[in-house]
Amino acid sequence: MPSLRDTLARTRNNIFGRIQTALGQSDITDDTWDELEALLLQADIGAATTDRLLTNLKERTTRDGIVKASSLRSVLKEELVHLLGEPKIPSYTSTRLLEIIMVIGVNGSGKTTSIAKLSHLYVKRGRKILLAAADTFRAAAIDQLQIWGERSGVPVIAGMPNSDPGAVVYDAVQAAFNRKADLLIVDTAGRLHTKHNLMQELKKLRNVLSRSVHDAPHQTLLVIDATNGQNAINQAKGFADAVGVTGVILTKLDGTPKGGVTFAIVNELGIPIQYIGTGEKMDDLEEFDPRRFVDNLFDED
């Protein structure tokens, strides 16, 4: 697993390192704020989130009598951590007879790969898992999940390509009961003929799950590709409005300079980030820890 420092190298080198340099030994002037604003916007943090950050920073500067730009560095870090909120990592211990996680997001965002990583993590913690291949729209998507399942020794319930994903999910729940699994993770389609069709299908899958198991799906995780930067936000709003989202898996933070989007996701969507994807391998998933994340965005002081 790559270190978080390596994962965030491009985001750090691209903008955040420069923010740190910009906050030098001189006194804070209007130019300092302008430069900081320009850099935050370039960092893919987004206009709304940049505004909020600057307002908070200015307030604190006045309140605490901060004069030197260099003193803003640690305040900025604190405000960034504050923006991301407390870590929200789900418990791995089994508390229910059957817990169901539904994974949604656009094609190519990393749903199937993230499901493989998640099952790997939960298997290591002793959970008995089953996967449902409900992205029946593409034959390759079913194969891909089955290959990951074989690798990690987790059974996959699948139907024929283009079969009804609702039926696959229904069968998967029955199979989970029969095998006494305590976690079912459902892979879903990221694209259908229209966005409307996709949202309808996701709603239908939700209903199949909630009719079969009390309170299911217990988590609906939205997978967001960090390389999409600000474009990811609107997409995410569409999913959140249609089916509700309890947490985000932010993928492909490795190798993108757009890691600043992390702040926009939390601030604009109000959905906690649970995991980040740091590569393409089974182990390349990290629990999201706001403080560690912010620390690794900056060069060491």
Ligand X SMILES: Nc1nc2c(ncn2[C@@H]2O[C@H](COP(=O)(O)OP(=O)(O)O)[C@@H](O)[C@H]2O)c(=O)[nH]1
Please give the order of strands across the beta sheet that includes 183-188. 156-158, 129-134, 183-188, 99-104, 219-225, 247-251, 273-277, 285-287
> For ligand X, which is the closer residue by CB, 111 or 218?
111
User: Which residue number is nearest to ligand X in terms of Cβ?
Assistant: 277
- Other beta carbons within 10 Å of 10: 16
Under the criterion CB under 6 A, does residue 277 sit at the interface with ligand X? yes
Running DSSP on this structure, what letter comes out for residue 16? Answer: I
Q: Let me know the angle formed at the C-alpha of 116 by 170 and 236, rounded to the nearest 5 degrees.
A: 75
Under the criterion CB under 5 A, does residue 169 sit at the interface with Mg ion? no
- Other beta carbons within 10 Å of 68: 14
Under the criterion CB under 5 A, does residue 112 sit at the interface with Mg ion? yes
Under the criterion CB under 6 A, does residue 251 sit at the interface with ligand X? yes
Which does residue 251 touch among Mg ion, ligand X, none (CB within 5 to 8 A, set by kind)?
A: ligand X
CB–CB of 81/289 below 8 Å? no
Measured distance CA(121)–CA(250) in Å, rounded? 16
Among 31, 86, 215, 280, binds ligand X (CB under 6 A): 280
Under the criterion CB under 6 A, does residue 110 sit at the interface with ligand X? yes
Measured distance CA(245)–CA(92) in Å, rounded? 19
> For Mg ion, which is the closer residue by CB, 12 or 111?
111
Which does residue 201 touch among ligand X, Mg ion, none (CB within 5 to 8 A, set by kind)?
A: none
- Please state the closest distance from residue 271 (CB atom) to ligand X, in A: 18
> For ligand X, which is the closer residue by CB, 14 or 107?
107
3-state secondary structure 172-213: HHHHHHHCCCCEEEEEECCCCCCHHHHHHHHHHHHHHHHHHC
Under the criterion CB under 5 A, does residue 109 sit at the interface with Mg ion? no
Q: Which of residues 114-143 bind Mg ion (CB under 5 A)?
A: 141
Q: Let me know the angle formed at the C-alpha of 80 by 77 and 86, rounded to the nearest 5 degrees.
A: 115
> For Mg ion, which is the closer residue by CB, 9 or 169?
169
Under the criterion CB under 6 A, does residue 252 sit at the interface with ligand X? yes
Measured distance CA(173)–CA(106) in Å, rounded? 24
Under the criterion CB under 5 A, does residue 253 sit at the interface with Mg ion? no
> For ligand X, which is the closer residue by CB, 182 or 225?
225
Burial 39-62 (b: 16+ CB within 10 A, else e): bbbebbbbeebbebbbebbeeebe
- Please state the closest distance from residue 146 (CB atom) to ligand X, in A: 13
Among 112, 267, 274, 296, binds ligand X (CB under 6 A): 112
- Please state the closest distance from residue 141 (CB atom) to Mg ion, in A: 4
Residues that bind ligand X (CB under 6 A): 105, 107-113, 190, 223, 251-252, 254-255, 277-280, 284
